[in-house]
Amino acid sequence: MSINKEKLAAFHNIKMKLLDMLSVAQESVRDSQSEANSHIGAMQSRYDTFKEEAQYLATAHKIRSIKLEGSIKDCERLMGRLSNDTLVFSRVEPGALVIIGDERNPSSEKSFLIVPDCAGERVSIGGKQALCVTPDAPVIKPFIGLEEGDYPEVFEGDGSLGSAYVKSVR
């Protein structure tokens, strides 16, 4: 199986998890709003604490739903790009499998798949175990936009990668 097909399968699984998370968030919005609507307050005051807290919770779930919808769209865009078997990533960006090496310790390398959401998952791609990270993750953020062989200006990540560089981008 090609690297892009393996990444496509990983992104499909991520999209399914995001859809499940979206369903839960939308249900939470309904529950929180229903809770807020059930509180009137002793004096029908807009300062009813329970009502306000339920409203804040409903709003927080709405914001989470919007973010999840954006992540799902990002995932779908990446899946569309990855469905082209000739796609080759040349720089560190979402959708890329990135191997970060250390010139002082060649056996110490880390593999990352850059995803829009659902970070923390481990996937096997190209015979390597890769950790899914978002572009904002501290461990990958200094490398975003770099190409193979590039060194970040500042890297304050894992101490085991003292002189880290982009070993490969696939």
Predicted confidence at residue 105, as pLDDT, reads: 84
CA angle 154-158-163, nearest 5°? 50
Q: Residue 132: what pLDDT?
A: 97
pLDDT in tens, 59-84: 999 999 999 999 999 999 999 999 98
Q: Does an H or E element contain 29, and which?
A: helix 3-38
pLDDT value at residue 115: 97
**Alpha-carbon distances of 130 from 10, 39, 46, 149, rounded to whole Å:** 11, 48, 51, 19
Per-block mean pLDDT, blocks of 10 residues, the chain (170 long): 92 97 97 84 63 90 97 97 92 97 88 95 93 95 96 69 85
Q: State the DSSP H helix or E strand holding residue 132, giving kind and residue range, or none if neither.
A: strand 128-133
| pLDDT of amino acid 36 | 83
Q: According to the model, what pLDDT value does residue 27 have?
A: 97
